[in-house]
Structure 1
Amino acid sequence: MTDWEVNGGEHQHPAAHDTSATGIAMMPAYPHVVEGGMVQPQSQQQAASSLNLALQSHAGPVYQPREGVMCTQSTFFVETNPSRQLLGHMYVECLKPLLNNQLPIILIHGDFHTGQIWSTKPDGNPGWASYFCYNGRCVYVVDLPPFGRSNIDCRPLDPARMSNETFRMDESTVERALTAPGKQESERWAGARNHSQWPGTGQRGDPIFQGYYASLVPLQSKKVDRQALAQDALARLLERTGRAVLVGEGAGATMAWLAADLKPDLVAAVVAVEPAGPPAGSATHMGEDGLLRYSRHIKYAPGVRPYGLADIPLTYDPPLGMPSIGAAHYGPALDLATAFSQSGDISCVLQPGGIARAGYGPVPEPRKLVNLRQIPHAIVTAQASSHSTYDWAAIQFMRQAGVGVFHIRLEEYYLFGNGHLMFLESNSDEIASLIDLWIGMKT
């Protein structure tokens, strides 16, 4: 069993929970086999065993035809909640298989992407939208507003909240972080040199790299507005589709959690493919060469995902208070702290709870994510991605908040060499097959 200690100097709120002159307090121990320094609850071990058995007996298709799948295709738009100050429309593409016998899937892209990433991979092969359709699922592919074919109406907003600036990823950043992390002069995170599944060289001048880079779009509007728009639009889509599975990548996983929090009765499961993280903290530090490095020492970062998994409120019990919708800032955020393992070799951000601090009285138990805990969750992490250093922190945060979550680490299922863009890489069908198996087990 692993114990945690809280650094009293890293709290978001003044009620730091230190019990000694050094400002160190013991966090409650969480019953957990060791997962890279973290320990797994028994349910994780049992689910992993069940998933392995399912893989061994799997009779369904692992690969889809190169030409894709026969299906009925249609498109439509859904509107965001008109009570919000920020209005928008979300473009949705529906792929309906000839034989539709399973729960539908909604595929949610992350930052700098559009729904196009799910349709065709940069090497020309069909993507996950076609794969899940081939497996008998109706698939909905969205362009989150304001990306791609979706749009927003900024006129009702206070101009001070809107920025004319946009942010783009340059080619060198894409190489270093996504398509060729193992070919850099030095590793920015442990395991980066294992990256081998990106088709082509992953470097500038390669046609596959150039095809991927051409698909990227700039970030527009503020993060809190993008999240509020996505939450509203996805909730409206769920009202139309009925009960569905949400699959999100990167920031799209955040949007999936937000939609599930709003409509838990309409979400059968959530698969977060390397979600934006870690919760309320940062896993990076600046190296001597001026490049960011990733480590398992995660520290609280003010203003970063102040609600743990998101930048806008989630439903906690006890509640946090009423947010100020449409204002420049939302309501009170969580009380959070950097928590260290007893060995001191890893740290993450958690809610301090179940302990007392002299002069402050008893500290309540950690707040629970009461809507998200109603839904099965999985987080998928690739072997050679920077997320391999910090996705565990999201799992620890969710479990502390009462949410059951299963960690799918691809290398444990003999899927090696993948990076953050696993859904675009050479073995993407095999990864989708693994995810589809987990969904089938949980729904």
Structure 2
Amino acid sequence: MNHYSLQDFGGRFLTTGSIAVGDKTYPGVSAYVEWFIPEAHRDVSVTFVHGGGGQGSEFLRTPDNRPGWVHAFLAAGYPVYLLDRPGHGRSFWNDSVLGASVAAPDYDLLYPRFVEPAKHALWEGAASHCRWPEDPCCGDRFMASQGAMGITLEAAQRHVEAIAGELFELTGSTVILSHSAGGPCGWALAALGGEMVEAIIAIEPLGYPGQEHMLGRFDNGLVAAPFAGDANPYERPVLVVTGEATWMREANAIAFEFLRAQGHGAEHIRLEERGITGNGHMMMSETNSDKIAGLLLSWLAELWVATEN
């Protein structure tokens, strides 16, 4: 158990004002951010950016009711910000503002990829998956967390870019920790945040240059569309993390080669090479999540030492 004392905690909606649609007026693109500030905290925060149809709560508690990654980072002294991207979690999806969304995911769609990869063996290496919690309720809890998402990669990018300014006013200097489809959002945020983004930890980020995805094509490096910000999102320390039993291994390797070619010292950790085995795409929810959190914190600690020297 990680022990720490909080100086502050809370949350609020990030807004972009109202928008008129026909004869109706709605909130514009909005998001929800929750924060936890430990006593005697570091000057650099960590901002968690969830993937796909998920939400920030995925990092707060595991499906089998263990403390999530948030608690490990708080115990290490980092202020933590949990973003529910526009239309996700506590930020509801309004088609009139955000555009159309994909159909709600069902068990047949998500279980083979997230909960039962070894059973369905849809890709090479899936048989190695063994870290999903055994309690059947854990799969139900995961499914309950999954909701709407946009029908294009560009829409997701534009939505998060819209709330970036207000987000960075809260987070200050920060490390972006993104997951899956939150990966492109992390790069887009960094292009707007510039020097405020100290580093990026990309957990199995979606996309690589030229990839054809069901929601669009990656036509601008690791994102679909031109960045709204002027900063180079890759011009900072970047860590890509990939599990042993995920379908993302080849795609992450290609993305890493792109990052390495940028010349800013990107690193790719394949968990099994660090003795952390059996993980799938939702590694923050799996039974060895604490070990992975420890690995991420060690990488940051080494980064700060290198920066100081």
Q: TM-score, normalised by structure 2?
A: 0.87
Q: Is it true that 1:225 corresponds to 2:155 in the alignment?
A: yes
Distance 2:95 2:124 in 1: 43
Q: Name the CA distance, whole Å, in 1 between partners of 2:92 and 2:163.
A: 11
**Unaligned segments of structure 2, at least 5 residues:** 22-26, 305-309
Partner secondary structure for residue 30 of structure 2: strand
Distance, in Å, in 2 between the alignment partners of 1:268 and 1:101 is 13
Tell me if the contact between 1:235 and 1:259 (Cα under 8 Å) persists in the aligned partners: no
Pick one of 169, 174, 177 that aligns with 2:110.
174
Return the match for 1:193 from 127, 135, 140.
127
How has the CA–CA distance of structure 1 residues 151 and 387 changed in structure 2, closer, same or farther, with 3 Å as cutoff?
same
Runs of 4+ in structure 1 over 6 Å off: none
Rounded Cα–Cα distance in structure 2 between residues aligned with 1:101 and 1:370: 25
Which residue of 415, 421, 426 corresponds with 2:287? 426
Match of 1:308 among 221, 246, 254: 221
Shift of 1:370: 6.5
What CA distance in whole angstroms lies between the structure 1 residues aligned with 2:34 and 2:4? 15
Q: Pick from 212, 233, 254: which aligns with 1:372?
A: 233
Partner in structure 1 of residue 179 of structure 2: 249
State how far apart, in whole Å, the 2-side matches of 1:262 and 1:169 are: 31
> Which residue matches 1:24?
none
Work out the CA distance in 2 between the residues paired with 1:302 and 1:130.
Answer: 33
Per-residue deviation, residues 342-401 of structure 1 (Å, max 9, x unmatched): xxxxxxxxxxxxxxxxxxxxxxxxxxx961243110100001111123211001122334
Structure with the greater alpha carbon radius of gyration: 1
Question: More helix by proportion, 1 or 2?
Answer: 2
The residue type equivalent to 1:93 in the other structure is E
Which AA in structure 2 matches 1:97? P
Cα offsets for 1:21-40 (capped at 9, x unmatched): xxxxxxxxxxxxxxxxxxxx
Cα distance in 2 between the residues matched to 1:388 and 1:173: 20
RMSD (CA atoms): 2.7
Contact 1:269–1:442 (CA<8 Å) still a contact in 2? no
Tell me the SS of whatever aligns to 1:216. Answer: coil
User: Who is 1:122 aligned against?
Assistant: 63
Residue equivalent to 2:307: none
Deviations 1:235-254 (A, max 9, x none): 43113321110000001121
Report the AA paired with residue 277 of structure 2.
F
Percent of residue pairs identical: 29
Distance 2:231 2:33 in 1: 29
Match for residue 214 of structure 1?
A: 144
Change in 2 beyond 3 A, CA 1:373/1:277: closer
Pair 1:378–1:81, CA change in 2 (3 A): farther
Retained in 2: the 8 A contact 1:264–1:375? no
- Paired residues, what number? 297
Q: Per the alignment, in what secondary structure is the counterpart of residue 95 of structure 1?
A: strand
Relative distance call for 1:398 and 1:370 in structure 2 (3 A) is: farther
Q: Which residue is 1:77 aligned to?
A: 13
CA contact (8 A) 2:47 2:171 kept: no
CA deviation digits over 1:127-180, x for unaligned, max 9?
11122112111100011001121257765x6xxx933x5322221222211111
TM-score, normalised with respect to structure 1: 0.62
- Contact 2:209 2:222 (C-alpha < 8 Å) held by counterparts: yes
